Amino acid sequence: MSDESRAAAFRESVQGSSVELAYAGHKTFLKGEPREVENVDDVDAAALGIPYDGAVSNRPGARYGPEAIRSASGWWAYLSDYKGGLTNMQTGEQVNFDDLTVADCGDVPVFPMDSETTAESITAHVATVADQTFPVVLGGDHYCTFPAVRGFAEGAGHDRVGFVQIDAHTDTVSESPVFGTDFHGSSTALIADSPHTEYSDVSQVGIRGYESPEFFEFADETGLNLYTMRDIETEGIVSVVEDAVEAAAEDTDAVYVSFDIDAIDPSVAPGTGTPVPGGLTAGQALKTMEVLGASDAVGAMDLMEVAPRYDATEGTERIAAYLLVTLLERQFAE
């Protein structure tokens, strides 16, 4: 038998055999190499999925978010493989995705009926990645962000972490008579009550809908950096996000970015559990990630609350992947 298999001979002789179509192959984030979580110290970023939605207060389904985002992200891997260097027509920048190395560590173990053990799992796995490289967390409901931020701080050795939250909701409910203290509406309260972050280190962008009657007074008293959709309409998205990341980076060692997909208007991204009208446009969301990606302070990120079964067009997971790629592109590939 020849040392070279027929399959290898075919791939060598037929042009284009090395190009993997967006919908083909293993479903890893940006078609990154599958890696064990302990073996990512030689890549720019490593993805972790959290297929957990046991802490939602409305529609479930975010457990399917990581799988959907991974599948959607294959388009950019295909483009970069097929076309080589690319021109980003929104930014006008040349992008070489060969300069961006990404691994995919699969999904962390989750325990659907045990939020505490699930949180411990998230913290341990994010900490292991953060000790080596830039974590990219694919959610999952927004409660998962709390243990992820904790893992980032502990793994990277940061005493103080700033937090930029792009979201329709503030998630500052300390305790709910229905959902208790550990649900997706309490994640920011838990982060601000942790040893690594205070409310003055938190910037929230895109807030709308309804909060408690005294919420503006609460923001003033705690030092929370609050930017509502009205602020964005008045001041512009670039100015708001620049102010937000600057505030979160001040006096902190690094900034963790959390993007809840419900920050985007549900006419664009309906695949989420708690949609609120009047949100960011697709263009505003992408511009947000451009600005954040240009900040040296940003050291980790997540994309949460994608519930793909509420969007038959698959547009929600597509823009979610686009947002992640945009930030990583600015960080590592320009």
The annotation places the binding site for Mn(2+) at: 142, 167, 169, 171, 260, 262
CA angle at residue 229 from 302 to 288, to 5 degrees?
40
Helix or strand or coil: residue 300? strand
- Dig out the tokens for 302 from the structure: 């997540």
The label of the residue with tokens 């009208």 reads 277
CA atoms of 146 and 115, how far apart (whole Å): 12
DSSP state at residue 86: E
Q: Supply φ then ψ for residue 163, to 5 degrees.
A: -135, 115
Query: Which one, of 58, 22, 28, 26, lies nearest residue 260 by Cα?
Result: 58
Binding residues: 142, 167, 169, 171, 260, 262
Q: Would you tell me the crossing angle of helices 282-293 and 315-328 to the nearest 10 degrees?
A: 20
Chain-centroid distance, C-alpha 180: 25
b/e for 134-163, b at 16 or more Cβ within 10 A?
Answer: bbbbbbbbbbbbbbbbbbbbbbbebeebbb
CA distances (Å), 265 to each of 22, 92, 196, 226, 305, in order? 27, 26, 31, 19, 14
